[in-house]
Amino acid sequence: MADFSKQWCEANDPEMKPDFDIHEIAENLENGYYTSIICEGFGFIAIGKDNDGSTLLAVPTDDFPDQDGNSKVEWKKYEEIIK
């Protein structure tokens, strides 16, 4: 089942019920930590916070996970993805 963030739904399909809110998840994270959560709409696989408290989103850099199931990601600031 595909999951979509509140922010994606508001920008792309306002009548769609979101599965989670990026801001709520980030608010509950400590600086320097992340949690795995997928947003099919924006294409990220985790939400994190840097050491300064800025929200980061993990965007996969390749199509296939490695043999251990790990994906290579690029951590991008929230503002780079959600405009």
Instruction: Summarize pLDDT for 16-28 with one digit per residue, the tens.
Output: 999 999 999 999 9
- Rg (C-alpha) for the chain, rounded Å, is 13
Domain boundaries, the chain: 6-81
7: three-class secondary structure by DSSP: helix
26: three-class secondary structure by DSSP: helix
Rounded to two decimals, what is the model's pTM? Answer: 0.88
Q: What would the pLDDT profile of 44-67 be if each residue is shown by its tens digit?
A: 999 999 999 999 999 998 766 677
Res 1: pLDDT: 64
* Model confidence band, residue 71 (pLDDT cutoffs 50, 70, 90): confident
Q: Which tokens sit at 45?
A: 């696989």
Chain-wide mean pLDDT for the chain? 92
